[in-house]
Chains A and B, each alone.
Chain A
């Protein structure tokens, strides 16, 4: 238990030792949302709002999580000798799930200021549940992809190229759910899709545990 705590605090230290990567990603989110505000202000329908929200979220995740292994490639041999890969992966998954959730928090906060939630009648709790599940799916899928992309020389391009096709299923389910919720759906009508989403997350995490020991070795 103590080792997971140590891994988490190590990730936290690496991110906050320098202030500008975190500030950079927040500024990235702000700039994207502000451009959307200037373009879409006043003419936005709930369905368009939904698409913009998820597109901003997707690009934030790809930019934010690309660093999860890439920055640490120099240290990978050290980690490999120090801890079993499964443990390292648990640490990474935990940290980047939390990191993803805080990105979601920042995005939602800024959206609330500039392009507020478009529907009064929609079930907000259900929307949040779907949002959290979608964000867990995105961050766990991208963590594994990042560990693959980190091995290459042009990792930032490959992160997008390898990541998009793999997270499309998660994204399709989450976006469809959230559109239905905005149009007034209740839990009964999206139950099936939510179950699919949860099982997809389970598949992604299980495959990560099977495959990470191979991709982490040098």
Chain B
């Protein structure tokens, strides 16, 4: 994050990748798969949201641990803004997934393990926001928030492996559904998908750096 705040070459890369994703995602040839049809293009917009969310939350856990080690409030600001941006990405991922599911599964919410996992992840991070909101002292807010952040993340990761054991997923590529893995994910999709993941993730970090720069300035102004 500190490196990302200092440098700006990656912002040009982000712009290029996101524009390429939007143009290529809508216009480049996509394979004809049963049920999915043209909705397969959602791969470039829905799936990167989840990748971005996981990267952002992982970043926030790393800064939470750094805060606990150094007691530097700047680390806490970085951790908190990463959580905020992760929540934004999570909500966008849920919405894009629900709209897509409405067309392919016939209903916006089924008992799908990936949907459940994302709902629980959202619950955990909303709880973290509420927890931070209910503490007044800056250092206590940072410390207790960081403790809950690490604890919840350590429980969330096993959950992502447990849930699929309990029910089969309806997602493409799981439980015999037509999907993107092995022979299905053809090279045309790959050509857009990988840049899309990188582009949207970097866009998330861009949002987070802007937000944290404002907050760090406010924090320094308060100190004076």
> Taking beta carbons and an 8 Å cutoff, which residues of A are in contact with B?
141, 144, 148, 151-154, 158, 161-162, 164-166, 168-169, 172-173, 176, 192-193, 196, 199-200, 203-204, 207-208, 210-211, 214-215, 217
Can you identify 17 A-B contacts, CB atoms within 8 angstroms? A144-B151, A148-B147, A152-B135, A158-B134, A161-B131, A162-B131, A165-B120, A165-B123, A169-B158, A172-B166, A176-B166, A199-B158, A203-B154, A204-B155, A207-B154, A207-B155, A211-B147
Measured CA separation A200–B147 after assembly (Å): 18
Given A151-B144, A166-B152, A207-B151, residue A161 in contact with residue B120 (CB < 8 A): no
Given A151-B144, A203-B158, A214-B146, residue A158 in contact with residue B131 (CB < 8 A): yes
Residue on B nearest A196 in the bound complex, by CB? B162
Further pairs besides A162-B127, A211-B147: 14, Cβ < 8 Å: A148-B144, A148-B151, A151-B140, A152-B134, A152-B144, A162-B148, A166-B152, A168-B120, A168-B159, A200-B162, A204-B155, A210-B150, A215-B147, A217-B143
Measured CA separation A165–B151 after assembly (Å): 11
Residue on A nearest B132 in the bound complex, by CB? A152
| CB–CB B135/A165 < 8 A | no
Contacts of A203 in B (CB 8 A): 154-155, 158
Measured CA separation A70–B27 after assembly (Å): 58
Given A151-B140, A165-B123, A165-B152, residue A200 in contact with residue B158 (CB < 8 A): yes
Contacts of B120 in A (CB 8 A): 165, 168
> Taking beta carbons and an 8 Å cutoff, which residues of B are in contact with A?
68, 120, 123-124, 127, 130-131, 134-135, 140, 143-144, 146-148, 150-152, 154-155, 158-159, 162-163, 165-166
Q: Which of B134, B146, B152 contacts A154 (CB 8 A)?
A: B134
| CB–CB B147/A192 < 8 A | no
Chain B interface helix/strand/loop/mixed: helix
**In the A-B complex, the 3 residue pairs with the closest CB atoms:** A165-B123, A165-B124, A169-B159
Measured CA separation A165–B159 after assembly (Å): 10
B168 vs chain A, min Cβ distance (A): 14
B91 vs chain A, min Cβ distance (A): 16
Residue on A nearest B148 in the bound complex, by CB? A148
Residue on B nearest A193 in the bound complex, by CB? B165
